[in-house]
Amino acid sequence: MLLNPAIARVPSMKQVRAYLAYSGWQSQVPGVGGTLWVRDGFKVGIPNTASEDRDITLGVLERLASCERSPKEELAARIRYHLMDVAFLRAANDYKITDTIPLEAAATMIGSTRKLLRASGTTAWREQSEIGGNYARRGDAVLKSARMDHTIEGSFVIPVLVPLTEPADRAVPEARSETLELFSSAPEPFERRVTRTFAQSILAVREIIVQPERFPSASDLNDVVLRGVSREFCSAVAAILSEPAVSEFETRFDWANAIPASSTMPTSVVIESEAVERIELAAERLKRGRIDQRSVFSGDIVELRHVAQEPFGDIWISTIRKGRRSEIKVQLPFAHYQEAVAWHREQRAVIVEGQIKLGPSRRLVVDAPHSCRPIDEIFLPAS
């Protein structure tokens, strides 16, 4: 975990129960005073009381830490954050930000953090170059549920906590036979889609807008939009970098253990203040940008199916289309399908370009995609 155990608070009893269920502990029949949980010969008692008693919770933590042979502080962090994505936003300056930060810079940092998450909540629902006040209600709901943890000493760091909805199990189990290969998994919660969009957006800003020697072309800007970047997102980043007290802005991510993230997901992105003019110019260009949402979509692979000897395999992408969650079937040549199997195992979201049609039973289908690749394969424009 990237989390510093020193900042972990005592988890709630509800979080303890959720962690136990996730970690393979089995609950027994509840008694009058509580429930016994067992695993590998160990037993932990959890009281039935709905009230939060810190001393009782600490006693449960000590017992559980002994059973799992883990330091109590690290266990507390795992329990508290196991169903939360955490984004650490850091403003750094060796001279002006040490134990304190100028109040104006702190206010900008907090306000811009809210704008970054809100913009990501909308572009996770529908990619667009400019939101223009038309924010998605579903994205705003994620913003409303997010929490800000206490800041961390040193350079000014804001930990933003995004609680995730536990994914429901899919009805179709994973199976293999001589004639059929089938892989299946639950779609990522929308809250994870938001934090993933946040992460891939800030990475796209750095790698496509900031780092290349030349300014990105219209095609390059189209690519950053497809990864979730909007004018509002760029403007919020530029506002932070414009503060005289800020020399660099770092965003670090710690993904919830309960919902595994791909190892290719960004964990830390740093942008220096010298990039502010480029980002402001990109924001201005994005104001006039448009993308063809009819032919490009992104999401996680939730099912793969291949019949023996067939030259093609089918994958299903969970995405957002016309304001609702949809699953679109994409037909791939067998070699490409085998790559998709690996992407699915690695929890890598993909981006697909191709004409979407209505197939049998009015299901959405792309039978000849122009491209299908992991969304984390962000390229650097030629200099």
- Whether 291 maps to a domain, the answer reads no
Q: What's the domain range around 146?
A: 84-170+186-286
* Same domain, residue pair 143 and 247: yes
Q: Give the per-residue pLDDT at 296.
A: 85
How far is 81 from 19, CA to CA, in rounded Å?
Answer: 10
The 10s digit of each residue's pLDDT in 140-197 is: 999 999 999 887 765 688 899 999 998 766 544 455 566 778 888 888 999 999 999 9
- Choosing from 58, 81, 104, the residue where a domain stops is 81
Burial environment of residue 79 by CB neighbours within 10 A (0 to 12, 13 to 18, 19 or more): buried
Q: Give the per-residue pLDDT at 95.
A: 53
* Same domain, residue pair 121 and 266: yes
Q: Give the per-residue pLDDT at 7.
A: 45
* Same domain, residue pair 36 and 120: no
* Same domain, residue pair 102 and 226: yes
- Whether 215 maps to a domain, the answer reads yes
- Whether 177 maps to a domain, the answer reads no
* Same domain, residue pair 368 and 316: yes
- Whether 44 maps to a domain, the answer reads yes
User: Residue 318's domain is classified under what CATH number?
Assistant: 2.40.50.140
* Same domain, residue pair 306 and 279: no
How far is 3 from 23, CA to CA, in rounded Å?
Answer: 19
Phi, psi at 333, each rounded to 5°: -55, 150
Q: Give the per-residue pLDDT at 58.
A: 87
User: Residue 47's domain is classified under what CATH number?
Assistant: 3.30.920
Provide the residue type at 157 as one letter.
Answer: V
* Same domain, residue pair 89 and 35: no
- Choosing from 51, 81, 111, the residue where a domain stops is 81
| Predicted TM-score (pTM) of this structure | 0.86
- Whether 63 maps to a domain, the answer reads yes
- Whether 383 maps to a domain, the answer reads no
List of the chain residues with pLDDT < 50:
1-2, 5-7, 171-173, 380-383
* Same domain, residue pair 16 and 46: yes
Tally of CA atoms within 13 A in the half-sphere of 107 that contains its CB: 3
* Same domain, residue pair 214 and 309: no
Dihedral of the alpha carbons of 280, 284, 290, 293, in degrees to the nearest 10 = 30
- Choosing from 286, 313, 336, the residue where a domain stops is 286
CB atoms within 10 A of CB 73: 15
* Same domain, residue pair 203 and 110: yes
* Same domain, residue pair 226 and 115: yes
Q: How far is C-alpha 33 from the chain's CA centre? A: 39
Q: Tell me how many domains the chain contains.
A: 3
* Same domain, residue pair 73 and 93: no
- Whether 379 maps to a domain, the answer reads no
The 10s digit of each residue's pLDDT in 236-271 is: 999 999 999 899 999 999 999 888 888 888 889 999
- Whether 195 maps to a domain, the answer reads yes
Locate 271 and state its tokens: 């942008």
